[in-house]
């Protein structure tokens, strides 16, 4: 008698772990590590956290406020009027100050009753509230080439170029760009150039 062979059913295939998901997780983890490394490099080489000491930049910056300064920006760009800059104090390089750039090289600076004039034209300064101004005078001064006239926003309590003169560009080593503490001050720091023209432990 002829026997018929029974068809052999294929053995069930066990489902393998989702290799695609694991690969995707590893890729995300790798990208996260790379991003963290790049962020660390950027912060270390391009940015520096500093603490503001004093009230000379009030109300824009407050005493003990923490900010980041960009240490690289002026290697590729120019210092502009309205920039908030950090520099070595010309009379003692062991100290750093933070002020706002008011006069550029070649500008004729004058202060009359607390009002700043550049080339005979009054400078719009929305960052200086009335209660932070003073009524002092400063005789006309031509800012030398390669130097900048800087002032604090709190004019009544700022030790600035009115006292120690213009600051050489080589002394300016950073631009204030971002405040991170306290959280109420969190955000970018405006250069105020658009408002005024187009209309470490810094401080003292």
- The residues assigned a catalytic role are 56, 99
Q: Angle CA(70)–CA(108)–CA(148) in degrees, nearest 5? A: 20
| Cis amide prior to 148 (ω within 30 degrees) | no
Burial of 69 (0-12, 13-18, 19+ CB in 10 A): buried
Determine the Cα–Cα distance for residues 111 and 140; give it in Å rounded to an integer: 8
For residues 89 and 95, the answer to whether their CB atoms sit within 8 Å is yes
DSSP designation for 170: G
Q: Angle CA(180)–CA(184)–CA(186) in degrees, nearest 5? A: 30
């Amino acid at each position: 008698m002829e026997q018929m062979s029974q068809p052999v059913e294929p053995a069930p295939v066990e489902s393998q772990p989702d290799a695609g998901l694991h690969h995707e997780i590893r890729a995300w983890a790798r990208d996260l590590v790379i991003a963290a490394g790049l962020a660390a490099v950027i912060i270390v080489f391009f940015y520096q956290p500093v603490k503001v000491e004093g009230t000379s930049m009030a109300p824009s910056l407050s005493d003990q406020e923490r900010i980041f300064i960009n240490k690289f920006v002026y290697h590729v760009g120019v210092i502009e009027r309205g920039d908030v800059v950090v520099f070595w104090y010309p009379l003692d390089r062991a100290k750093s100050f933070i002020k706002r750039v008011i006069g550029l090289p070649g500008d004729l600076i004058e202060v009359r009753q607390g009002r700043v004039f550049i080339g005979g034209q009054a400078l719009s300064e929305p960052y200086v509230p009335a209660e932070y101004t003073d009524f002092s005078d400063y005789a006309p001064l031509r800012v030398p080439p390669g130097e900048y006239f800087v002032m604090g926003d709190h004019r009544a309590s700022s030790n600035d170029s009115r006292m120690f003169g213009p600051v050489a560009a080589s002394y300016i080593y950073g631009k204030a760009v971002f405040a991170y503490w306290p959280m109420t001050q969190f955000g970018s720091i405006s250069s105020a150039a658009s408002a005024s023209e187009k209309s470490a432990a810094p401080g003292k």
